[in-house]
Amino acid sequence: MPFTQGTFTPVSSHGNTDSPKLWSYRTEDDKATVLTDSYLDDKFYQLNNGDMIYFDTFDAKFIGEVIKTSVISVADINAGGSFPADAIRGGWANYINGDLTPINVPAGVETKLTLDANSGTIVDQYLPTGVTSIWNSTTSQFDFSELDVGDMVDIRVDGSLTNSGLNESFVLNLVAAIGTANEFTLPLASGNRFISGTSIVSRYNGIYLGSQNIVDAPAELRVVTTDDASGFLLDIYVKVLKIGL
């Protein structure tokens, strides 16, 4: 589609000065289209060499520098990606379990771990702007739908594990893109219990959202043990790093 004047707006003060100016432009066109020579020629007499434009396109968000010759061109200032590496917004949430009923974990059977923060405590007011929640207590699953491909999520899991055998091992997995053809398992933690008994287990790991399937589909925590065991989650701490201004 052609350039749309109504979604092109100034961001910085545009007084009588030769200094570069900052603009913002939102469009349903894709990135390749807006980077085409002459796409912005309707703004030829307003734009100058060195002006910067924040683009929000159909498939990318990025900053471009105006190159003015006989036509208007734009160069992506970070050709290696959609954003400079330091254009990151961060925040965190903590989901504390209100149901500490032990979950039976049969030997060798991957078992889903649940966490009901609705009956416990939810601390999510410190998530990045535009992100309201990361955990769904109804399904006991991570919900990344308010994030984007390229965003990063660090996860700390605190729980209790009671093992029945000697020299028993466990693996804690994050199963992501559930229900899609690209569902996969990512090991988050592992450990050994040399004697039977109950132990508090705390593990911290990080992931990045590398595809739209991970964003759109839920993810959940599952544990596998070599002997019969039981356990429950105490809480989940999540740190979110969003790429973009």
Please list the residues that pair with 237 across neighbouring strands: 94, 156
In tens, the pLDDT along 43-93 reads: 888 888 888 899 999 988 888 889 888 878 888 766 555 455 557 889 999
Whether 21 and 14 have beta carbons less than 8 Å apart is answered as yes
Within the chain, which residue ranges are assigned CATH 2.60.120.760? 88-243
Tell which wins on pLDDT, 84 or 153.
153
pLDDT of residue 74: 87
The candidate with the shortest Cα–Cα distance to 160, out of 138, 193, 118, is 193
DSSP element (H, E) containing 34: helix 31-34
Whether 237 and 135 have beta carbons less than 8 Å apart is answered as no
pTM equals: 0.66
CATH entry 2.60.120.760 includes domain 88-243: yes
pLDDT of residue 16: 57
pLDDT of residue 160: 94
Q: What residues have CB less than 8 Å from 70, skipping those under 6 apart?
A: none
Whether 162 and 229 have beta carbons less than 8 Å apart is answered as yes
In tens, the pLDDT along 118-147 reads: 999 999 999 998 899 999 999 999 999 999
The candidate with the shortest Cα–Cα distance to 111, out of 8, 238, 233, is 233
